[in-house]
Amino acid sequence: MPEGDSVWKLARRLDRQLLGRKVVRSDFRTPRLATRDLSGRTITEHATHGKHLLTRLDDGLTLHSHLLMDGAWSVTGPGKRLPARMMREVRLVLETDARTTAWGLRLHQLEIVRTRDEHRVVGHLGPDPLHDDWDPAEAVRRLLTDPARPLVAALLDQRLVAGLGNLWVNELAFLTGVSPWTPVGEVDLARLVDRAAQALHRSATVEGAYQVTTGSTARGETHWVSGRQRRPCLRCGTTVQMVEEVAGDPEQRRTWWCPTCQPGPVPTTRTQTRAGGRR
């Protein structure tokens, strides 16, 4: 699923494929924007803030898209198009003067704003570790506004820190050595946000390091706990545990942890997966 580093890498790929190109045809396949036309405008920048993509145009407009859990952008070359099975998921088509076509898939949030008004769509977000103006002290301040809040829930709140998704918050809890449900006020947040910024930056910019949290690219060893339920912890051998997400509750996502390496509170009401199955 898209996280801050995913969207940053997407923006760099779109730069290579679309930057400086003029839109010759646009087709919005969402009712609210169905009559809008971006043709004649040149793409000047792909900026990001957390999980939000901002495609800036030369006439002072910005196309804002949020990938949420399953959104994506794909670009095809001259004379090419997406497979027919994917066409029903297309929400936006942008054809360029280079005969390339950008396809926005499953874009649940899509809007056009003036570039000077981008704060309307991203102004509520917290500091972004991938921005040049990353402010770790501000991130710590925001995370401490509710010190009793569970660590993972706080890190997932994009209003506090932008760009950390479910994979990263689970891995950061492991690397910090605390249960995902530890009150955020009990954690060394200065050290945690520094580690988060370094990890996200490395994942986004270093070849072969994308979302590798263990330092190993061997199959099944790229993450400490995420996706490793019922498997031994890579550090101590204890079986990694997982609880399912709570539908409709963005703060209670699927969560993984090692009970030995991450002592502290555990959930009492959510479905828990252990070795041998659920209980």
Active site residue 207: no
Catalytic site residue from 2, 127, 129, 150:
2
Query: Could you tell me if 115 and 62 are in contact, meaning their C-beta atoms sit under 8 angstroms apart?
Result: yes
Catalytic site residue from 56, 142, 228, 253:
253
Active site residue 80: no
Catalytic site residue from 21, 41, 51, 91:
51
Catalytic site residue from 3, 21, 129, 171:
3
Number of other CB atoms surrounding residue 139 within 10 Å? 26
Active site residue 245: no
pLDDT tens digit string along 13-55? 999 999 999 999 999 999 999 999 999 999 999 999 999 999 9
**Residue 44 CA to its chain's centroid (Å):** 23
Active site residue 159: no
Phi, psi of 245 (to 5 degrees): -70, 160
pTM of the model: 0.90
pLDDT at 34 (0 to 100): 96
Please name the residue ranges forming H helices in 63-150: 119-122, 136-143
pLDDT tens digit string along 65-97? 998 888 999 999 999 999 999 999 999 999 999
Planar angle of CA 92, 96, 97, nearest 5 degrees: 165
- Buried b / exposed e over 10-45, threshold 16 CB at 10 Å, is bbeebeebbeebebeebbbbeeebeeeebeebbbbe
Domains of the chain with bracketed CATH: 4-123 (3.20.190.10), 136-257 (1.10.8.50)
